[in-house]
Structure 1
């Protein structure tokens, strides 16, 4: 895994403005709008053909270039021998869309009267540039066509969704089987509530090159096996600070053992319920500072919020090594505790903890999840892992990443502790904090995919090892 600025073009996430600039750059290099439309439409048609199995397809085309893509899709399917009809409630309005319409040799339905039925409905009404709700007639057309087909495919973006924020511009939109991103991922492909309606996600490349300062989609990391001369300390010693509720710290430690660190040591009141292969230190937490071999520290899971918890947090933050903060530590955290810190910090808040941190660090109220995570990272100097159904990672230097939609079975108690332990383990191996956060989030999501359903937090923690093995 590499820094956001050197990510491949297939991993980048672009705003509407960035995507337009990227297309303009391709045009400036001599690629016509018509050629870009052919690349997008034919690439999307290949996916639609696979989904349809050669059965009847209905393509809804709008007046803009997204509609032009639809005409290209329809003509490509027709030439393959597929059954296809275009529904066009509006005439093409752009030059490229007009050319694509002229090249389509199949049936056109104007959207009035009886609508066609079939296997696949393809939504090319409006693309990623839409910023206003659909008109009632257009919303009803989309909804009715989706209901008349077994499957629905959105091209670039389902109609009625705001690309940059993931907000629903209309509330009663259909769910899609597949969404095909054209040229680059958009934020709505990863953000709730939009992403929940998009089904499977696939990228159709059109030649867009890497864009400076683009956000990234978290991809499977490449993790190397330890070198031949490795030992437990060279692979990283992670110290986990326990507290009033020992179970959470044990969960985090178990996950950390499977995520790559060579040595995980839990500072706890006693050894009850701890796995036999987990080293538990029952002495004073102040002993944590005397071990110069610490590579990273995790504090927060099961910490508590009393005076003893505050003292443990302060001791952890006094160690000049990278620290991951989770759970109770985030509620106790404030700018004063970080005044003397210079080593990296990663915070892993859920929504309630995110609000508490925004108040503690006097962040201006953001309107989107992206804006909120970025603002908090800048104000606090921490890498922020805003976890949830749409996890966002923001770094203090402007790095930004979004996680693929993970299993809904993660909505169970204790899975956040597993995530914190996984990220802390990756951090202890010596990775850059932002990269460690991205890798930890990916491993967490992959473990959820691999674990039996429904799973407990302890089952998830034990599956982290298998998720890492998939990256070797």
Structure 2
């Protein structure tokens, strides 16, 4: 895992910083690295336009004083508003080094609002666990409203870094959030991430942390070898059900995601594209073809006795299985009791709740904690999909996806995701890695689509997304 991909909890970040200090650095030195690194990004936005930096009492406020001084040294027009006096030695030292104007909240009372081009929020950082006071919240809201652009340092003030929860109402929306040292979960989880704008990371030299979650980045995918053929590239069997349209959509997406052969098992060839092989024979034929490298089922499967039978057949194949949609409602521990090959589940929020009930979980905790609990209890790789998609593995691996296009919130896009993931695992990729690759390809395909795209249009863009990884 690359160091700049890791996502750290507040406790992990604190421990990482302490290790840097024990190795010879200092809080002051780390603050200079973080603040001046953030200032580089802010300068690109603001240049010599007027910048207002709101500093709190802690080390996040200290970062703000360093940012302000770095901008001032470059000829920037910057003023600091101190919400309160520095409460740490490093923050006090950073303020003492700032050679520009420092105002207080009292200086702004009874006057017109302080206007500027760019507002920088350094009020509170990732360690905040309580709501803002009314005074701090009012000052934050007033300054954010009176500036054309808003930038948050590390995480926006009023956000809980480990869960992505908002610790109050009416918090500002930001155009840019600059993470310091490492990504935090709030950068990827709703509702916080929706308020952060673009995301950038400033490195301070934190080493890789064992067991840390990671951000899902662009995968490296190799083209087929010169001597490849369709079976060597992977045969994906797609088990359709009562409503085959969703399975056809998933199969179309799978065809563009790397597998050499996608075969749909359905009762009819109706509406299937000419280049998709459809087998209308007995479903047991799925089990007799030892060339299968993965099975996909659940889309439009139904929830009756026939659907249960088809799910049982799919799970009886001794290859990786991707279970989506109706399969997730029907799935129970007994279905997985005899399996040795991986199962990848792709639940949305409602299906996640159904799976938690099936595996006797209480469904409490943060979204990452819930996904990990389900993965451990079931033995499945869990792709908890939604506006803050994440991937959890039974061995504790966890990965979070960056925000994707909000136009993905339309019918059928989940079927496309299932097809992409199934195609990747059919090529022989590890189940967790295949899930992460599928999530990234899904988001990239959405980025390549026009606004208000359909699921079919999304599926058409999958080969183009794949090409970006070669």
**Cα distance in 2 for residues equivalent to 1:252 and 1:461:** 8
The residue that corresponds to 1:237 in the other structure is: 235
**Cα distance in 1 for residues equivalent to 2:78 and 2:381:** 49
The correspondence for 2:431, drawn from 423, 433, 440, is: 433
The correspondence for 1:449, drawn from 442, 447, 450, is: 447
**Cα distance in 1 for residues equivalent to 2:90 and 2:370:** 38
> Aligned with 1:285: secondary structure?
coil
**Cα distance in 1 for residues equivalent to 2:386 and 2:319:** 27
Confirm or deny that 1:60 pairs with 2:54.
Answer: yes
Contact 2:353 2:363 (8 Å CA) reproduced = no
Post-superposition CA distance 1:230-266 (Å, at most 9, x none)? 1111110000001111110011000000001111000
The residue that corresponds to 1:3 in the other structure is: none
Counterpart mapping for 1:313-328 below 5 A: 313-328=311-326
The correspondence for 2:297, drawn from 296, 299, 304, is: 299
**Cα distance in 2 for residues equivalent to 1:76 and 1:365:** 46
Post-superposition CA distance 1:68-90 (Å, at most 9, x none)? 00000000000111100000021
By how many angstroms is 1:419 displaced? 0.3
> Aligned with 2:16: secondary structure?
helix
The residue that corresponds to 1:30 in the other structure is: 24
**Cα distance in 2 for residues equivalent to 1:46 and 1:319:** 54
**Cα distance in 1 for residues equivalent to 2:209 and 2:396:** 14
**Cα distance in 2 for residues equivalent to 1:383 and 1:89:** 46
Contact 1:364 1:375 (8 Å CA) reproduced = no
By how many angstroms is 1:418 displaced? 0.2
By how many angstroms is 1:127 displaced? 0.4
Counterpart mapping for 1:341-360 below 5 A: 341-360=339-358
The residue that corresponds to 2:71 in the other structure is: 77
Counterpart mapping for 1:54-453 below 5 A: 54-112=48-106, 113=108, 114=111, 115-453=113-451
Confirm or deny that 1:43 pairs with 2:37.
Answer: yes
By how many angstroms is 1:367 displaced? 2.2
* Stretch of structure 1 that moved more, 112-121 or 462-471: 112-121
Contact 1:75 1:106 (8 Å CA) reproduced = yes
TM (norm. structure 2) is 0.98
**Cα distance in 2 for residues equivalent to 1:286 and 1:62:** 66
Contact 2:345 2:382 (8 Å CA) reproduced = yes
**Cα distance in 2 for residues equivalent to 1:191 and 1:128:** 14
Q: How large is the Cα RMSD of the aligned pairs?
A: 0.7
Contact 2:3 2:208 (8 Å CA) reproduced = yes
Contact 1:243 1:309 (8 Å CA) reproduced = yes
**Cα distance in 2 for residues equivalent to 1:107 and 1:51:** 21
Moved over 6 A (4+): none
Post-superposition CA distance 1:406-456 (Å, at most 9, x none)? 110000000000000000000001011000000000000010100111100
**Cα distance in 2 for residues equivalent to 1:79 and 1:53:** 12
By how many angstroms is 1:368 displaced? 1.2
By how many angstroms is 1:339 displaced? 1.4
By how many angstroms is 1:342 displaced? 1.0
